[in-house]
Amino acid sequence: MSRIVNLDQGRLMVVTDLHGDYPVYCRYRDHFLALRNKGQADTLILNGDFIHSEGLAHADGSLKIVLDLIRLRREVGEGLIPLLGNHELPHIYSIGLSRGQVKYTPRFEMAMGKHRPEIIAFFNRLPFYVRTRAGVVVTHAGASLAASTPGGLRQLADYSHPGELAKVDALFEGQDRASLRAGLAKFSGQSYEEMVIEELGYAALTESRYDDFLRGLFVSAASADFENLWEALFNRNEREYQDYGAILTACLASLSQAYARQNFLVSGHMAVTGGYALVAGRQLRLASWTHATPNKAGQYLLFEAGKPIESMGELVRGLGSVFR
């Protein structure tokens, strides 16, 4: 299974970073379905980070969104393409994700309950990139050093989450896991149980999942392929790289290999004033809700997958709002 999806035709609607806001998700979903029924849209690309609200627990609709995406995928098939974001990734590996004092992962780990196997299987299948004959590529975070060479991009295209975890399981075979947990606790200054509860909640202390946190830490510490994926999903573009324009150009060139030339990149991931921002002349950073200031300035993007986009101005003309 390739982590790169090629779309040669159809009208695409791109939405990004809804972060657990179920009413806003429903608004975008229903707008897409209305456009689809009128023949004005064919495929909804949800460009990562559809989970993890920073608001109150009772208002966090992350679970509702994911379960509805699973249902909608059964209903419309390839008409829905969710992409993996940096907020979905940690749950595949049972590792923590935080920003400042905010711990994102425990709430969703606890919320998944009996649905966890289905949800993790869903996350496991999510692609990382959509390429189009229009010359527009969609990915969550933006360009990265990880994807800036054909070899790095091939690693991402062939990436297997179960494969990476299987490598750790093979490494663990015959090892004293209690000693490994004790060593980790000594290094961190917390007991293993305290670390699991802090990062994943009580749900991860069940017998079948007790060592999931340990496995995830080993993958994140020892796997070069995982490091490559982390860099692709977590980097902060021009706020991190000094010569981001050159990296963006290199990524678009890598993504053009054995396919149509890719001239523009659409991402989410970072906050913007209004509903979008232009980066380095060739990247459209979209903010559909959480990362838009104000939130109701959020935008979606419509464009034809099979019709070459000649300029950023032409791409930007596809922006729209569900809040007017």
With bands split at pLDDT 50, 70 and 90, how would you rate the model's confidence at 151?
very high
Q: Output the six-digit token pair for 271.
A: 């906050």
For position 164, which CATH number holds?
Answer: 3.60.21.10
Average the pLDDT over 19-32 and give the result. Answer: 98
Q: How many domains does the chain have?
A: 1
Q: Report the chain's terminal Cα–Cα distance, integer Å.
A: 39
- pLDDT at position 174 is 85
DSSP H helical ranges for the chain? 22-37, 62-76, 89-93, 105-112, 116-124, 150-157, 161-172, 177-188, 192-200, 212-222, 224-234, 244-256, 312-316
- pLDDT at position 101 is 86
pLDDT tens-digit series, residues 49-70: 999 998 888 889 999 999 999 9
Tell me what percent of the residues of the chain surpass a pLDDT of 90. Answer: 93
CA distance 169 to 172: 5
What is the average pLDDT score of the chain? 96
With bands split at pLDDT 50, 70 and 90, how would you rate the model's confidence at 73?
very high
Cis ω for the linkage preceding 294 (within 30 of 0): yes
SS3 46: strand
Q: Show the domain range for 21.
A: 4-320
For residue 308, which of 127, 182, 136, 104 has the smallest C-alpha distance?
136
